[in-house]
Structure 1
Amino acid sequence: MQTERSLQTTEGTSSCWLREPDGNDVNDIVAWLADQGINQWFDFGQGRQTVPALAAQFMIQSGRHHLRVFGPAGHTPASGLVAVSDLTHAFGTGSFWVLRDRRRPACRDMTLLASTAILREAFEPGGMHCITAWAVDCNVRSRRLLERIGFRLIGMQRDCHVMQGSRFGRVLYDLLPGDLPNGFHSTAGGP
């Protein structure tokens, strides 16, 4: 199991931690994915937007998903989750997604730092070659995050996502290892 890592910008203006989820995090992950304010933005296959506790536990233990929880330095409970799922090692591909609980503490660039760190893990030791992501077209905050990370716009899937009875499109992105910014770093150890 990987230890907790401290993440910060090269200027040292923001500090947070990133670690593998443990048994204590399963309840948070299940609660986040049961919350309609959070899960409305996701699709876990065949239109499923919630993940039962057993499925969340499987995701944490499965080699098909690379999950990390994150939070601001000095706060123990996780404030969010970053993931690269649907890992296809034969082709070196995966799908990135992230969620952050706005009710929990945060620090500047925390989600960006955690996202960049998990993507580096997926590319460097993980051997991935291309990672995709999508955001609902009206989710400006997620689209900005993906673009700050270095994801490149590759298209639009129209009228394919349902939220609160309305249909939306999905903006599609991909990322290659050289697209990641260099302005962030991590260190092993506690926050």
Structure 2
Amino acid sequence: MQTRSDKIEAANEANNLRFYRFGEFQVDVVEEAIYRNGEKLQINRRTYQVLLLLLERAEEIVTKKDFFDVVWAETFVSDNSLTVAMTALRKILHDDAKNAKFIENLPRKGYRFIAEVEIIKAVPPSVRTKEQAEEKSETTPTTPTTPTTGSATNLKNRKTLAAIFAFCLLAFIAVVG
């Protein structure tokens, strides 16, 4: 059974959605990651899904029921689960519930993402220009490179093994002989 989150992900891929950008943050929909000024941040899956739902419905009220239906679709959870996820998300975003820059709490209604969100779509391969394809082929080496020290390293290893073998052979002859 496909959950709503799976359907949203499929729709994002179909629309070539790649990033949401707001403030100093960028959310990579494909990698399911969040970056702050280019640095990847740690975020658990549920907290990421809470953020994604808020971004998908930016400026709209997202109710507790909406969060539970999407993020915790097939799991029984208490209101505390959403509170914990929202607290973790605010910590990641350096957002304050009282002086919100990103997430507004609307008592008895839900939450709303209030910052301006920029949607960035990926360029599908079929749309890339011939120049981009040629540029890529010029920067990509066509023949594999081999290390120049490979032969010397291999020879050194063989000499070391031969010396160890000779030492062991002499030790054996000394003990037996």
Structure with the higher helix share, 1 or 2: 2
Fold similarity call, TM over 0.5: no
TM-score (norm. length: structure 2): 0.30
